[in-house]
Each structure stands twice: as C-alpha cells, then as structure tokens.
Structure 1
Amino acid sequence: MRNRGATIIIENGRIALIKRTKPHKTYYVFPGGGIEDGETPEEAAIRETYEELGVHVRIQRPFKILEYNGRQHFFLADIIGGKFGTGTGEEYFHTSVQRGLYEPIWIDMADLPSLDVRPKVIVELLLAK
C-alpha cells in the first residue's frame, strides 16, 4: 500500500486524464502517483502531474481523500505552465504489455459517465457539483 497524490484539472468544460490501454482493457486515471519520503501529498501531486502530463500546476484546494490501497489525496488544480502531453515520467519509456500504454488526454466533462474512469467515486463527486 502506497499513499498517492493526484490532481483534478478542469479547463473549458474538459478534464485532464491519462488514458491507460492494456490488452483487452482501456480505462482512464487522474494524473498522480506515489508520495516520496519527505514529500507532502500536495508536492507529490504537483511533481507527478508534471512527470505525467508535462504541465506545472498550482493546487487550488483539496478535493477528496480516499482510502484504497493506501491513502489517495485528490486536489483541484490549475495549469500554470508547461506543455500538455510532454510528460517525461518512466511510464512513457518503460513500457510493457502488463503496464500498457499511457496517453495524456482531454475529455469533455459530459463524456465522463460513459467512460471507465478510476476511481469512479471522484467522477461521481465531480458530476454532482
């Protein structure tokens, strides 16, 4: 179990996600990853978002903490720099059939209910607002 920090970035009615494609399965996740020693959840979310999406973000506020395979911290965030889709995280260079493909993508908020976005509870909370 590893604690994680993740961002929720919404701009112009679209949300930034990572499309995960594995054999016989496609789903979407929020940018983020494990909290390293000495890091706060916010710092991990900022670092991981840059590694995965290629953008610098500013945290607006905490959104939700989920207990699932550790504590998962979700933060609403704004892009303040960088270029979307230029992430340099290891997931882009150390690919395998098991890990699958990672693709930064903008999704219309209206399309969220029809997609397999994980964790689903975050989508439900976003759409309830």
Structure 2
Amino acid sequence: MTKPIRNSAKAVIIHNGNVLLTKNQDSTGIFYLFPGGGQEKGEELKDAVVRECMEELGAEVEVGDLLTVREYIGSHHEFARWDADVHQVEFYFSCRLRDPGQSFAHAANPDEKQIGVEWVKLQDLPDMRVFPRALCKELSREKRPPFYLGDIS
C-alpha cells in the first residue's frame, strides 16, 4: 500500500547572518535540517510550525510569510533505498524567535536523530551537509521573493 502524501511545515529562522537548524546524526555523520515537521489533521500549517519548533527547539516562534514550497519524492533522491515510498510537500516559513537570547536545552520532543540545535552562519551552509541543499543557495540571496523549489535535494 502506498503512503499518502504528507504536508510538512518548516521554520527558516535567520538572525544576525545565522540560521537556526537542528543538528542530527546518522550512520554517515552529522547533518542539519530546518526545524519543523508533519502537519496534523485539522491543524493549520502555521500552527504546525509553532508546535514543531516547540518540540524540536524548545522555543516559541512567530510565523511570518511563506518563503518557499519544496516537494520531496523519496524515490528520486539519494535516500531512495529507505525513502522510496515517501512523498512530502514542505512549506518553509520565515519565522523569528519570541526570545532570541534563549538557550535550546528544553526541546520537548526532538526527532529521533536530533542531537542538538545550532546557529549556523549563512555563508557556511554550502560547505555543510544541510537538507535541502537547494534552499541553502536561495537563502544566500540578498532578496528572496517566494519561489517554488519542486522535487530537489
């Protein structure tokens, strides 16, 4: 049986030239993701971002504009061996922390592979294992109008 298409709401939190990412580890090493996750039935995307940031960062966020939409069709990517039946539509929102000076020691429900939270310099993103990589390129632009990424890594 095929899995249904899943919506995911993600936060892009930029402050002083840095972006806030979850730090994760798998069998090949450290990788970074934008905080966020699956939308629950009856939940608006903006509310999913707020909930997911509380779970993964332990932080309250204010949700701004939609920045981009990305599709992830697992069978088309490097993780096809275990993600072949995954089709996810990801909505990336510009967000800001309600308390920019807070620590991130109180994540309520971090993801299975999550080992921390880290501010990363925007200029360092191209040299790091960050998913999706194509979004990192767009974040380095001076002006970032809304855009559609499609099915990319």
Q: Which runs of 5+ in 1 are unaligned?
A: 92-98
Question: Which stretch of structure 1 is more off in the superposition, 58-67 or 18-27?
Answer: 18-27
Match of 2:147 in 1: none
Q: How many matched pairs?
A: 122
Secondary structure of 2:98's counterpart equals: strand
Q: Could you report, residue by residue, the CA deviation over 1:79-99 in whole angstroms, capped at 9, with x for unpaired residues? A: 0138331211153xxxxxxx4
Kindly indicate whether residue 91 of structure 2 is the aligned counterpart of residue 87 of structure 1: no
Match of 2:50 in 1: 46
Of structures 1 and 2, the larger Rg is shown by: 2
Match of 2:119 among 89, 96, 106: 106
What is the RMSD of the two structures over their aligned residues, measured on CA atoms? 1.6
Distance 1:33 1:81 in 2: 21
Mapping 1:1-129, distance limit 5 Å? 1-68=5-72, 69-81=87-99, 83-85=102-104, 86-91=106-111, 99-129=112-142
Distance 2:58 2:119 in 1: 13
Question: Which stretch of structure 1 is more off in the superposition, 11-20 or 76-85?
Answer: 76-85
The share of aligned pairs that are identical, in percent, is: 29
- Give the letter for the 2:69 counterpart: I
Task: Give the CA deviation at 1:53.
Answer: 0.5
> Could you tell me whether the CA contact under 8 Å between 1:23 and 1:100 is conserved in 2?
no
Q: Could you report, residue by residue, the CA deviation over 1:35-92 in whole angstroms, capped at 9, with x for unpaired residues? A: 001111111111101111111111121100112122100001010138331211153x
Q: Give TM-score scaled by structure 1 length.
A: 0.86
- Give the letter for the 1:19 counterpart: K
Q: Tell me which stretches of 4 or more aligned residues in structure 1 moved more than 2 Å.
A: 81-84, 99-102
Q: Which runs of 5+ in 2 are unaligned?
A: 73-86, 143-153
Q: Give TM-score scaled by structure 2 length.
A: 0.74
> Could you tell me whether the CA contact under 8 Å between 1:17 and 1:106 is conserved in 2?
yes
